[in-house]
Amino acid sequence: SVTGSVRHPGEYPLDDDMHLSDLIRAAGGLTEEAYTLQGELLRYTDNGKTLRDSILLAVQLGSTQGEGIPLQSFDELNVKRIPEWHEIRKVILEGDVRFPGEYTIERGETLSEVLVRAGGLTQLGHAPSALFLRESLRDQEAENIEKLRERLRSELAAIAFQKEVFTSDSSATIESLLSQLENTEAVGRLVIDLPAILEGVTDITLKDGDQLIIPPKPQSVTVIGSVNYPTSHLFDASLNRNQYIALSGGFTRNADKRQVYIVRANGQVDIEEHSRFFPRGGVIVAPGDTIVVPVNVNKIPSLKLWTVTSQIFYQIALGAAAVNSF
């Protein structure tokens, strides 16, 4: 039998005058990561007793002498892997990078190092709005979304069983929230501070399949959720959060005015801390920000799960919109 770095590991019949090279050939040959300087051949010998002795032989697979060893019954060949071997790793840089495209990376290479290879950002590139995607996070995100869907379906089923009374507005809100979550697809966004990375304050080690998108500087602020006219507005540095909400027609009846939050251009969520010393709505709004006005779940029995879920949903949805814009 043969195990390890061969194309088809397994057990093979022993033919007459069969050598180590014949076994490797039967297994489809060695793979690229096979360590040919040394393999291990486990051989059992009859010691005249109930148990057999085992002998571990070191063989040089890359030589005629090593692969010419005659095989015996029950021989086991283990083909080792080259130390620290890895498949080719690639990352993608898109948007306002001087030399966008696909880059092959070494193990342990960081984002700042690859950006140097790519010539850095263009003059139009906006580092605070960088979108970083990772495949492993996309899979984890998809799993979490499905769990949230199941929890919401369970809550809705419980509501129907208990025959709780809702207004038409509440029923419409529930259906809207469920529809939004059902249509949400995972993107695998990782919130990063690209300006800090470019300044050398922090960094991130890259993985195969990572993707960085650099958009141009945004010019708008978007208001969504429980407002009368969800829309985008041209950024005005003189306006605060509540003034942008007012431009969108103000809060609806089901709006939760105390839980308004902002999804920053890089995906970070900021929730204003209320204090008697500072006025509400005075949080700084930057270009590319999205102001989210959630539903007041206290007005909808059994739906307090959405206090957390809505933040997750809008983060994912905005990340997907940013990806689709390229």
Report pLDDT digits (tens) over 168-223. Answer: 555 555 566 666 666 667 778 889 999 999 999 999 999 999 999 999 999 999 99
Residues 80-113 pLDDT 10s: 888 776 677 899 999 999 999 999 998 889 999 9
For residue 130, the model assigns a pLDDT of 93
Give the C-alpha separation, 89 to 109, whole Å.
10
- pTM score above 0.75: no
Residue 168's domain comprises 133-324
- Give the total number of structural domains in the chain: 2
* Residue 153 DSSP SS3: helix
Give the C-alpha separation, 132 to 190, whole Å.
6
Q: Which residues of the chain have pLDDT under 70?
A: 46-58, 62-67, 85-86, 148-149, 151-184, 272-282, 297-326
Q: Is 306 inside any structural domain?
A: yes
Q: The domain that contains 258 carries what CATH number?
A: 3.10.560.10
Residue 313: beta bridge partners?
Answer: none
Per-residue DSSP letter, 118: T
Give the C-alpha separation, 257 to 281, whole Å.
10
- Is residue 147 domain-shared with residue 213, that is, in the same domain? yes
**In 10 A of CB 258, how many CB atoms?**
11
Q: Is 124 inside any structural domain?
A: no
Give the C-alpha separation, 205 to 270, whole Å.
26
* Contact criterion met (CB below 8 Å) for 88 and 104: yes
Give the C-alpha separation, 194 to 281, whole Å.
27
- Is residue 306 domain-shared with residue 214, that is, in the same domain? yes
Half-sphere exposure for 212 (CA within 13 Å, toward CB): 33
For residue 89, the model assigns a pLDDT of 87
For residue 205, the model assigns a pLDDT of 94
- Is residue 29 domain-shared with residue 173, that is, in the same domain? no
For residue 312, the model assigns a pLDDT of 54
Half-sphere exposure for 322 (CA within 13 Å, toward CB): 33
For residue 132, the model assigns a pLDDT of 94
